[in-house]
Structure 1
Amino acid sequence: MPPAKSGGTGSTVGLRCQSKRLGETARRARWPAAAPRGTPSPVTHRWSIPLLLALSAAAFIWSAAPALTTLDAGELGAAAFEQGIAHPPGFPIFTLVNGGLMRALPFGDLAFRGAVASGLVAAVCVALLARLAERSGRTAPSAGILTLLALTCAGPFALHARTIEVYTGLGLFVAVLLSLRGLAASAPGDGRPWLALFFLSGLGLGHHPLCRLLSVLILAGAFLNFRRSPLTWNVFIRRGGAALAFVALGASTLLYLPLRAITSPERNWGDPSTLAAFMDHFSGARIRAAFAERMFSFDPQAFSDLLDTLTPGAFPLLALGLVGLSGLFGTQDATARAARGWARWVLLIDGLYAVFINPMGNADGQNLLPTMVVMGFGALEILAVFEARSPKVLAGLAGLALSIVFLVPGVREGLLHPQSAGRALPQALARLTDKMPPRGVVFVSSDHLASGAAFLQVVEGGRPDMAVVVRQHVWDESSMRPIGRRRPEVLEGWSAGQGLGSLKILDGSEYAIGWEWARGVDESEAPEGLNTDWPVLNRNAGQSAVSPPFAESLTSLDEAFERASTSGGGDEALAGLYGGFALDLGLFELRQGRRATASDAFVDAVRFDPDSSSPWSNLGVIASLEGRFAEALALTRTAAQLEPHHRVPLVNVTRYALTLGLRDEAQHAVDELLERDDRDADALGLRGVLRAQAAEMHSAAEDFSAALKIDPNQPEARAGWDKLRGYPSRTTPP
């Protein structure tokens, strides 16, 4: 019997084996089967993603802040431009990418370039979402444009896409995460998407704390995916080793922190050049210590602030996104299902992070950008399906209607206006530097002035003679060392770990001093002879205390606010910044006992920022000091309505209501205070007054005693206890 033929082109057995191997490979990779001849290919638009990327970049460049904005923008911009060390956890990827873009972009000043860099990252994020939506085989270019409009008009996304911030990088992380998950689902036999996800999780360690939580999602997904296939020890070790290698490769970006810190840059936050300092910086130890009481607990005021970040322009995006993520109307292929599943987990993780881990960031709009990105993906899904299944005329009319729905709130809120971020902070910095004599020393306490001064000196090279001391960081050697290199006389008497009291420069009058007023922040260390001014109080060299030029300061503040407003900067950042300056003037004047001028400053603060409760509350304090309790109660009610979870206005409402004999209102306010915190000393003392007025002396004595054990100086409890000494009571004296 002749031997069977094998391997040749005419071999039936060989062809069958080869066909079987190819079929098995195709099955594992889920390659699409070849379409029969004559079947039309799906319509694709290869130009749609590049066009959307270009449109996104143009939109975010157009709306980019023309000058330096408030909060951390200056500090992050200075660290990025200098390739230094930013605040914890260091953000090495942001520093390298945004710093490189700031230097590479050929147009605009450096602050504008930093804002454009954030916008370019946001544009890539939008394009990736559109590419993910197209992987199901349906293409809808107009759906991508509509989603771009929605994101541009949604506050949490638009805010960070037009300023120097790290959060657009976080959004890009989420977009890449969902894209790779969809790619892994479309090719279950291909391990490369999972290796890319492991690399992404390592990169996330070097960007933002929320990325670390999302990395847990990657590891959990990988474990569930690998568990479905039979594993031997060899396969487990091989796959596990590859995963660890790619995580380590991504995490190697963290080496930037100690390597750059060794060179002692100007911006060297925390100096992570040693292992202990690196771990503290990486873990955000100082931030966790400062906000330990607020983390991992539900704060109603912080939750209210979180809801306030959802501007009207965000709600249409939320509605479309939720419908898309439900999966009821979207595509049901493996790519879409896997991406939607992880998108829901991102929503949950982002919500928990905003409510319990970073509630202190809600007031500044730091949270919910990943939620907006996920909603953008969901909106793309539903819009693409609607466009594909609807007649062209209906789809066009619906697109026009949605464009109006997105654009109207965006235009109304100024999110599309290139000047809406204003030039408020540079204007304030210009006044500070103009007023400060050569070799002056400025003590700041707010993020606005601290980061703005850092950008001024490190990036723009302005006023190198001026020393800027951040009062909260005066004990930290990494914060004070750059000052000592340029101005060693400023640190005379100081050593690492010591506070403001050790600085001899505050005792003498040899140098000009600028002092940003902040009640409760080293207020007792304020030097004598300060004169009223904005953005900081000042004491000129060799000048004793003089009558403060209050009228001139307030007039110039009014004029500056009007200039910033007319230039298109009438947004919340402008209102908060200049409202804060006016509030500081009023608090300083009130401390000096000058009620009339303090009242003028508080009235200006209300005019600048009517949604802030503090000036309303302080106007109520002045009215009560002058015996106008009905007016004080009305003003403080307004403060309590503006910030219903803030306790100080509610405490004062109780006091004024008691003075006016409004027992029901006082009782309601006290009950609300004690419902929030049953150990509130002020609430216990005030409830004691209410009970004493109702002749419930024993209960009143118990309240006074409990209040004094918490706060020995609580005024109502101290006065009430003294009056009740003659009454028999079983309560132990505090």
Structure 2
Amino acid sequence: MDGRNPDTLGDFPNRVGTERVKRTIALGAAFLALAVYLVTLSPGVVEGDPGEFQFVPYILGIPHPPGYPLYCLLGWVWSHLFPLGGVAFRMNLFSAIWGAAAVGVLALLGLEAIGTKWWPAVVGALAFAFSRTFWSQSTVAEVYTLNAFLVAAFLWAVLKGLDLTVLALIAGLGLAHHRSFLFFIPGAVAFYIVKGKWPRGSLLAALALFLAPLLLYLIIPLRAPSLPYLKVQLSPDDTLILYGNSLKDFVDFILAKRFGGLVNWEAVGVERAVEALRWLREEFGWGGVALGIIGLTGLILRRRWEILALTGLGFASQVAFNLAYFIGDIRFLYVPAYLVFAFWIACGAREFADRLGGKAFILLLLPIALLIQNFQALTQASRAPVAERWTRILSLPLPEGAILLSNDRDELTPLYYYQLVEKKRPDLVPLYPLIVPELSDIGLVLDRALSSGRPVFTIKPMEGLEVAYEVQEWNGLWRVEGKVSGEGLTPLNLKVSDSLILAGYKLREKGKGVEVVLYWKVLSPLGEDLHSYVHLLGAAGERVAGSDHRPGGVFYPSSLWKPGQVLEDVHWLEGELAFPLRLRAGLYRWPSLEPFGQAVEFEARP
């Protein structure tokens, strides 16, 4: 690139000094990251997957597929041996420690590969430490920091030339923790092919050390029978089985088959790729992205094909899979790819160091800028209200055996924590869509809950449920009394389509207007979210007044309505109205305004 012999330049000679100096630099980066993570650490109970990973390791339980047995086993040891704070705090701290360790090993990786000066490696390591997504996962109980540590350790061990048995053990531990580790094994194989030299060590011993950690998955069938939350008894005749503990259940679980339908290679397109690039820019800023590209280019021009194979194949594989994986928290799965890109940032910083000398020291401003930019957003003190909310809920005089329900499983993970760790209100039953596959939406969950005979409460207002269920506010929760029956309606039975009829109506005079309550009856699934309307007609059939909205709102739109169900759809017409009213009612698609079926007309009286 600058006229020097590329082969000589490509040796990346290490002038940092002794291994002790390298370790000191790496520890410095790790402790700096840990200090920041501690300041921004979540103080206690949180929602979502982090909430799950706060209680599951402590009871040596089973989280969502594929089970993360290494994390759970290490978390069990940590949460029982570490003496300070509550279990939730300990597991948040557990993530922070692994996050800092990943930063330290990434610094070692940089020093090993490009160790002409110490600070380019530190630029890359701290850029990763203070990137938005990785930092966020280092302040709550999550699996991604341990995964990043294992990926970084594997890349470093390959580059360091460690024995095959060591590489095999790290790879086995990686796969016993997170399946995405698999993306980095082909890169290691390619590294040795390019170098033309295989690592030393016994192949048989390496195979044994690779397979041994995978035996940790046996924790799942061994622990399943003793975990009460895996069987939910709604009534003497109705039990939900979350994990069946057969061989097929075990294989399906560790392969995470329940998420298999979320992989769609045909849906990968430009929009998805642009989104991934936007996220990369948000992680490192335009300066960091440019520096990473320069580092990647430098590796190419220096002909460091083995390093390109080691890092590039894993990066490309992870990104390609993520583009096709349509899961809600997909951004977190980019963490290993961001780790590799941070390594390339270190390579880019080295390019500037070689050309500008001490002036390039200014590149240390990159991680400082990321630290300042993300600090406020990633301070986790705001998570304290989660504990306050659930302390209030659990202090209410809820009936024995009541069902607490939400449309979002993430909102209920704190309840599991308080039940299984702090032994509070173990009689309460959390329910949510997809707790088992057949309960795929909130309507199916509510119907199953009501049929159990238990008292049923939603933990938040769920606008739209009132079209199908009798819902009353209760001490800040909402009690579901039963299903809408349509009792007392004036019958019509007018056909709107083959799948829907207008069963009847009610009129309720209120102040300067009237409520028009339509009762739709579903004959077959509608399969789409519709808007409904009521028009008041004049003598000549013209529209005089009207009302339209989306019946069922966000939480129970028409796409969830079930055959045989009667839905109560309330409209408001304002003005001095003379009875009988001549009304037209119907439904349409939004935003196209295309009619659904046919409109119906009728006269209405109170």
Contact 1:84/1:266 (8 A) holds in 2: no
Which residue among 331, 353, 376 is the counterpart of 1:365? 331
SS at match of 1:442: strand
- Counterpart CA distance in 2 for 1:451 and 1:459 is 12
TM-score (norm 1): 0.56
What residue is the counterpart of 1:703 in the other structure? none
Contact 1:313 1:410 in 2 (8 A): no
Between the aligned partners of 1:252 and 1:307, the Cα distance in structure 2 is 38
Q: How does 1:586-665 map to 2 (within 5 A)?
A: none
- Partners of 2:405 and 2:431 within 8 A in 1: yes
Deviation readout 1:93-139 (Å, 9 max, x if unpaired)? 11122333333333333222212111111111111111122224736
TM-score normalised by length of structure 2:
0.67
* Distance in 2 between residues matched to 1:384 and 1:534, nearest whole Å: 61
Aligned residue in 1 for 2:472: 531
Distance 1:303 1:200 in 2: 31
Aligned partner of 2:398 among 432, 437, 441: 437
**Distance in 2 between residues matched to 1:380 and 1:625, nearest whole Å:** 66
Q: How does 1:46-57 map to 2 (within 5 A)?
A: 47-57=24-34
SS in structure 1 opposite 2:295?
helix
Which residue is 1:712 aligned to?
Answer: none
Q: Distance in 2 between matches of 1:157 and 1:453?
A: 26
Identity %: 19
1:250 alignment counterpart: 213
Q: Deviation at 1:427?
A: 3.4
Mapped to 1, the partners of 2:463 and 2:275 lie a distance apart of: 23
Q: Matched residues in 2 for 1:254 and 1:419: separation? A: 35
Shift of 1:463: 2.1
Deviation at 1:305, TM superposition (A): 5.9
Matched, 1:465 2:416: no
Task: State the match for 1:89 in structure 2.
Answer: 66
Structure 2 CA distance for aligned equivalents of residues 349 and 55 of structure 1: 31
Contact 1:295 1:359 survives alignment (8 Å): no
| 8 Å Cα contact 2:461/2:478 also seen in 1 | no
Give distance in 1, aligned partners of 2:408 and 2:36: 32
Q: Describe how 1:190-205 pairs up with structure 2 within 5 A.
A: 193-205=163-175
Correspondences of 1:241-280 after superposition (within 5 Å): 241-264=204-227, 266=229, 270-271=242-243, 273-280=245-252
Residue of structure 2 aligned with 1:351, choices 301, 319, 322: 319
Query: Larger % of strand: which?
Result: 2
Say which of 288, 291, 315 aligns to 1:320: 291
1:406 aligns with 2:370: yes
Cα distance change of structure 1 residues 221 and 361 upon mapping to structure 2, 3 Å threshold: farther
Distance in 2 (alpha carbons) for counterparts of 1:322 and 1:449:
40
Corresponding residue for 2:540? none
The match for 2:500 is: none
Please tell me whether the aligned partners of residues 100 and 129 of structure 2 are also in contact (alpha carbons under 8 angstroms). no
Residues 213, 349 of structure 1: 8 Å contact kept: yes
- Distance in 2, Cα, partners of 1:266 & 1:326: 52
Contact kept in structure 2, 1:183 and 1:193, CA below 8 Å: no
Secondary structure of 2:84 counterpart: coil
* Contact 1:201–1:218, Cα closer than 8 Å, also in 2: no
- Residue 701 (structure 1) aligns with: none
1:427 pairs with 2:391:
no
Distance 1:507 1:260, change over 3 A: closer
User: Deviations 1:498-527 (Å, cap 9, x if unpaired)?
Assistant: 976555x5475xx54212579899x6997x
Question: Is the 8 Å Cα contact of residues 34 and 100 (structure 2) preserved in structure 1?
Answer: yes
Q: Which amino acid aligns with 1:298?
A: V
CA deviations on 1:281-340 (whole Å, 9 max, x unpaired) are: 011122225x36x565337776676556446352243332232232359977xxx75334
Bigger proportion of residues as helix? 1
Which residue in the other structure is 1:381 paired with?
Answer: 347
SS at match of 1:135: helix
Cα distance in structure 2, aligned partners of 1:118 and 1:474? 29
SS in 2 for 1:455: helix
Describe the superposition over 1:238-277 as per-residue Cα deviations: whole angstroms up to 9, x where unpaired: 9654443232123222222222224446468954743222
Distance 1:68 1:300 in 2: 39
Flag the structure with more relative contact order, 1 or 2, with Cα contacts below 8 A and sequence separation at least 6: 2
C-alpha displacement of 1:88 = 0.3
Distance 1:100 1:295, change over 3 A: farther
CA distance in 2, matches of 1:166, 1:93: 10
Residues 430-454 of structure 1: per-residue CA shift (max 9 Å, x gap): 3432445142321233122222211
Aligned equivalents of 1:628 and 1:119: distance in 2?
64
Other structure's SS at 2:61 match: coil
CA distance in 2, matches of 1:250, 1:536: 45
Q: 1:599 corresponds to which residue?
A: none
Tell me how far apart the structure 1 counterparts of residues 153 and 507 of structure 2 sit (CA, whole Å): 58
User: What is the Cα deviation at residue 682 of structure 1?
Assistant: 5.9
Contact 2:165–2:209 (Cα < 8 Å) also in 1: yes
Which residue matches 1:215? 185
Aligned residue pair count? 491
2:54–2:141 CA contact under 8 A, matched in 1:
yes
1:548-559 equivalences under 5 Å are none
Three-state SS of the structure 1 residue aligned to 2:289 is: helix
Deviations 1:156-175 (CA, angstroms, capped at 9, x unpaired): 21121111111112212221
Structure 2 unaligned segments of length 5 or more: list them: 1-10, 232-240, 485-505, 511-528, 537-542, 560-587, 601-606
Q: Please say if residues 186 and 314 of structure 2, whose CA atoms lie closer than 8 Å, have aligned partners that are also in contact.
A: no
Alpha-carbon distance in structure 2 between the residues aligned to 1:282 and 1:149: 34
Alignment-mate amino acid for residue 99 of structure 2: A
Which of these residues, 107, 118, 133, is aligned with residue 95 of structure 2?
118
In structure 2, the residue matched to 1:578 is none
Provide the C-alpha distance between the structure 2 equivalents of 1:374 and 1:628, rounded to a whole number of angstroms.
Answer: 65
Q: Aligned with 1:461: secondary structure? A: coil
Question: What code does the residue aligned with 2:373 have?
Answer: P
State which of 456, 474, 480 in structure 2 corresponds to 1:513.
456
User: Distance between the aligned counterparts of 2:119 and 2:191, measured in 1?
Assistant: 33
